[in-house]
């Protein structure tokens, strides 16, 4: 589809351009009001709203639809701020405040050879990666799903910060060798491990009591390289304030019984993921129903 | 951008606030209150005038209430609130397009000046009217004057501010 109107769809490029215009035009002292209005407007995005509300029902057992509607607004509000903070960093060089929790695990990751940084669609993945790239001497490769809309993809590519190497998770086999090399050379691979992109190999998992699929890539990489998986989450704590939460590393045993080793590692990962999402449900930017 | 590490009292540095009145309040708090405790492993604070959440939420709320009061002198309160919210959005877009320079795309500062001038001008207009909205306008203008006074005080105290802020090495 190449219709001109596609740019105005929810994932279309118009909104990214408009957001960028806003980030460089809106004075900071009126930003909260702008965020409040736009978060409200994005409640009109039916599929996203329903996805978030369904996920909230699983995260917060016994929660009702009306309360989850307002919770959904809080998710959109946080998402709007996160996107804006990311743009402020890119366009204005504005850095938020950072709190670090679980620093010993973060240091261990930096001190280790190659490692896999496994995170979720929470807070600002981009800002966290930029902070890491600025403070660490290590090479970091971010793996992310490409934008659905080609124009949006091109726009994001044109405005990305050069300090980071970003690879797009299009086909699992395309990247595998590059990532293996990067880890063996002591680099860090950052992957979001809470959502599967179509065409990517996955593993079965249980999240909040519901069956789901999680990306197999990080676990396969960890098994083949012996590198630890470090669960790291970037959580938005407030206006221009983020918390980097590092958890104990997960090791994937290199055994003949791959399925068992993967299942054990996935269970450890989902334990950490559930714990963080339960505490900061309003930061989990999962706009589709996570249950498979 | 300057960053300070593991110095929680830097949260109250005047230079982390935009408006002089808030910078002065931050200075008073920095001088009089106990330094906040570290409740995390490490802390990295940016020294940037737009960093204070409280300041920006208060200003936003105050602007929207003031504009709602102005419009409420013409229409019902709920409609006045909607008009105020819409006018601000429109003002940002119009201001952004008007002040956008040919060479620089980053124009939030110029837009900030444009919008604040527009709000002050509107307040002057309503301050001269007989409707109850004049009280909101007087309050707004009084705060603007107080901010100017705080700016003067901070000019006099600038060395004290510099010394206090030097306690956290970058």
Residues contacting A106, CB < 8 A, separation 6+: A100, A230, A232, A244, A246
> How far, CA to CA in Å, does A59 sit from each of A76, B45, B151?
17, 32, 49
Tell me which residue of A268, A225, A216 sits closest to A114, measured CA to CA.
A225
Tell me which residue of A130, A137, A135, A134 sits closest to A160, measured CA to CA.
A130
Q: Per mean pLDDT, which range of A70-84, A157-171, B99-113 is the poorest?
A: A157-171
A272, pLDDT greater than 80: yes
At residue A34's C-alpha, the angle toward residues A51 and B11, to 5°, is: 100
What is the rounded distance in angstroms from the CA atom of residue A72 to the CA atom of residue A54? Answer: 10
Domain ranges of chain A: 4-283
Tell me which residue of A176, A175, A190, A179 sits closest to A133, measured CA to CA.
A190
Higher local confidence (pLDDT), A123 or A220: A220
| A261, A255 contact by CB (below 8 A) | yes
pLDDT at B103: 47
pLDDT at A277: 95
Higher local confidence (pLDDT), A138 or B137: B137
pLDDT at A99: 93
B46–A94: do the CB atoms touch at under 8 Å? Answer: yes
SS3 content of chain B, % helix, strand, coil (to 5): 70, 5, 25
Q: Which residue of A has its CA nearest to B11?
A: A97
State whether ipTM is beyond 0.90: no
Q: What percent of chain B has pLDDT over 90?
A: 64
Whether chain A has a CB inside 8 Å of the CB on B117: the answer is no
Of A37, A93, A98, the CB nearest to B1: A93
Higher local confidence (pLDDT), A196 or B82: B82
Q: How many residues does chain B have?
A: 170
What is the rounded distance in angstroms from the CA atom of residue B132 to the CA atom of residue A165? Answer: 59
Mean residue pLDDT of chain A comes to 86
B50–A21: do the CB atoms touch at under 8 Å? Answer: no
Q: Which residue of A has its CA nearest to B84?
A: A33
Question: B14-66 pLDDT, tens per residue?
Answer: 999 999 999 999 999 988 888 888 889 999 999 999 999 999 999 999 999 99
Q: What is the dihedral of CA A232, A238, A239, A243, to 10 degrees?
A: -20
Highest mean pLDDT among A140-154, A249-263, B15-29, B35-49: B15-29
pLDDT at A55: 95
Whether chain A has a CB inside 8 Å of the CB on B111: the answer is yes
A164, pLDDT greater than 60: no
- Full-model pTM: 0.88
Q: Which tokens belong to A142?
A: 């971010």
Residues 27-56 of B with CB under 8 A from A: 40-46, 48, 50-51, 53, 55-56
At residue A193's C-alpha, the angle toward residues A191 and A196, to 5°, is: 105
What is the rounded distance in angstroms from the CA atom of residue B12 to the CA atom of residue B25? Answer: 9
């Amino acid at each position: 589809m190449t219709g001109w109107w596609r740019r105005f769809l929810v994932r279309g490029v118009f909104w990214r351009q408009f957001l960028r215009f806003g980030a460089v035009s809106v004075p900071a002292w009126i930003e909260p009001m702008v965020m409040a209005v736009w978060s409200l407007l994005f409640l009109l995005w039916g599929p996203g709203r329903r996805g978030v509300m369904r996920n909230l029902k699983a995260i917060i057992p016994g929660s009702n639809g009306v309360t989850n509607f307002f919770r959904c607004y809080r998710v959109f509000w946080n998402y709007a701020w996160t996107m804006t903070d990311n743009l402020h960093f890119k366009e204005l060089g504005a850095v938020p405040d950072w709190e670090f929790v679980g620093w010993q695990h973060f240091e261990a990751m930096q001190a280790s050879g190659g490692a896999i940084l496994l995170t979720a669609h929470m807070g600002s993945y981009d800002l966290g990666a930029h902070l890491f790239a600025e403070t660490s001497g290590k090479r970091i490769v971010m793996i992310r799903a490409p934008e659905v809309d080609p124009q949006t993809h091109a726009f994001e590519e044109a405005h990305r910060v050069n300090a980071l190497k970003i690879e797009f998770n299009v086909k699992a086999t395309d990247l595998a060798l590059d990532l293996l090399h990067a880890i063996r050379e002591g680099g860090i691979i950052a992957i979001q491990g809470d959502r599967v992109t179509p065409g990517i190999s996955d593993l079965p998992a249980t999240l909040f009591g519901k069956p789901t699929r999680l990306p197999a890539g990080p676990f396969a990489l960890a098994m083949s390289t012996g590198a630890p998986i470090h669960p790291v989450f970037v959580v938005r704590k407030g206006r221009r304030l983020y918390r980097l939460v590092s958890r104990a590393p997960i090791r994937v045993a290199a055994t003949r019984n791959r399925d068992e080793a993967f299942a054990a590692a996935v269970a450890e990962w989902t334990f950490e993921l559930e714990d963080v999402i339960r505490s900061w449900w309003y930061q989990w930017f999962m706009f589709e129903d996570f249950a498979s | 951008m300057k960053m300070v590490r593991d110095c929680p009292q830097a949260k109250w540095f005047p230079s982390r606030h935009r408006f002089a009145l808030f910078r002065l309040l931050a200075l008073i708090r920095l001088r009089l209150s106990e330094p906040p405790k570290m409740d995390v492993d490490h802390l990295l604070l940016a020294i940037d005038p737009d960093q204070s959440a409280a300041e920006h939420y208060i200003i936003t709320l105050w602007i929207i209430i003031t504009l709602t009061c102005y419009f409420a002198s013409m229409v019902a309160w709920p409609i006045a609130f909607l008009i105020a919210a819409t006018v601000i959005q429109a003002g940002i877009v119009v201001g952004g397009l008007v002040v956008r320079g040919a060479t620089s795309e980053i124009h939030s500062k110029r837009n900030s000046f444009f919008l604040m001038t527009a709000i002050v001008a509107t307040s002057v207009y309503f301050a001269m009217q007989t409707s109850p909205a004049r009280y909101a306008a007087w309050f707004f203008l009084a705060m603007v004057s107080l901010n100017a006074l705080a700016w003067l005080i901070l000019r006099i105290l600038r060395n004290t501010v510099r010394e206090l802020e030097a306690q956290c090495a970058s």
